[in-house]
Amino acid sequence: MTALQSRNLGLRPLADVWAEMQRFTDTRTGATPDELWFVEHPPIFTLGMNADASHLVDPGDIPVLQIDRGGQVTYHGPGQLVVYTLIDIRRRKLTVRSLVETLETAVIDTVAPYGVIAYGRRDAPGVYVGDAKLAAVGLRVRRHCAYHGLALNVRMDLEPYQRINPCGFEKLEITQLSALCSVNSLSDVRRDLEWQFRQKLA
């Protein structure tokens, strides 16, 4: 299997990283290794390609960007671990659905050692604890290669979620790891999540 490389991008504007993902996908070849990009973003709301703008209730001073992933509206901000999964799904013999399930399971298995019992929902992609959403998933596939990925709430300001209908669901409760367990740092979670991805995409 082609190697899986990882990059830690730190805190970067979403628009810049999105453009880099598009360039990477458009120029990669059959020999290009798949990559995981770990990043945090400054505060921003994003809308999927076919998102209903009415779910953006009161953005206030937080910028809004429509991007080319699936799904509705979500929020990104510091303290949220975003993982962009630049994966050749044909080479790895994955479907879009199986890649979504891989992303969800990687999060579920990452948080389990912290004592957090999480699960995925086929009718509403993402990872949930009880009735609250812990991680969002959104992908785009072009030239049989996927990009975008998942956003796991670790230790962040959740107030901006009150300004939207997260993922298109009115009054959907949003949670984060720091509210559910003791987490040492975002870097620890990143290490654990990367290990899970490497096991599941081996």
Whole-angstrom distance, CA of residue 59 vs CA of residue 107: 28
Residue among 167, 180, 186, 193 flagged as catalytic: 167
Residue 167 bears catalytic tag: yes
DSSP reduced 3-state for 104: helix
Q: CA 56, 129, 151: angle at the middle one, nearest 5?
A: 50
Whole-angstrom distance, CA of residue 145 vs CA of residue 23: 12
- From the list 9, 36, 7, the residue with the least C-alpha distance to 197 is 36
DSSP string, 146-171: EEEEEEEESS---GGGGGB-GGG-TT
Catalytic (active-site) positions:
167
